[in-house]
Amino acid sequence: MHDKPFKIFSGTKSRYFAEKVCNSLQCPLGNMIIEHFADGEFSVSYEESIRGRQVFLIQSTFPNSDNLMELMLMIDAAKRASAKSIIAVIPYFGWARQDRKDKPRVSIGAKLIADMLSTAGISRLITMDLHADQIQGFFNVPVDHLYASGVFVDYMKTFNQDNLVIATPDVGGTKRASAYAKFLGCPMVICYKIRKKANVISDMQIIGDVEGMDVLLIDDIVDTAGTMTKAAELMMQNGAKSVRAVASHAVMSDPASDRVDNSALTEIIFTDSIPYTKSCSKVKILSVADMFADAILRVCNNESISSLYVV
Q: Is the pLDDT of residue 201 over 70?
A: no
Residues 13 and 67 sit within 8 Å (Cβ to Cβ)? yes
- The model's pLDDT over 218-263, given as tens digits with 9 standing for 90+, comes to 999 999 999 899 999 999 999 999 999 999 999 999 999 999 999 9
Residues 35 and 29 sit within 8 Å (Cβ to Cβ)? no
Give 203-270 as a DSSP string. EEEEES--TT-EEEEEEEEESSSHHHHHHHHHHHHTT-SEEEEEEEEE---TTHHHHHHTSS-SEEEE
Q: Which class for 262: exposed (0-12), middle (13-18), buried (19 or more C-beta within 10 A)?
A: exposed
Q: Kindly report the pTM of this predicted structure.
A: 0.93
Our CA angle for 139, 123, 293, nearest 5°, is: 100
**Whole-number percent of the chain with pLDDT over 90:** 80
Q: Is the pLDDT of residue 1 over 50?
A: no
Give SS3 for 188: strand
Residues designated as active site: 193
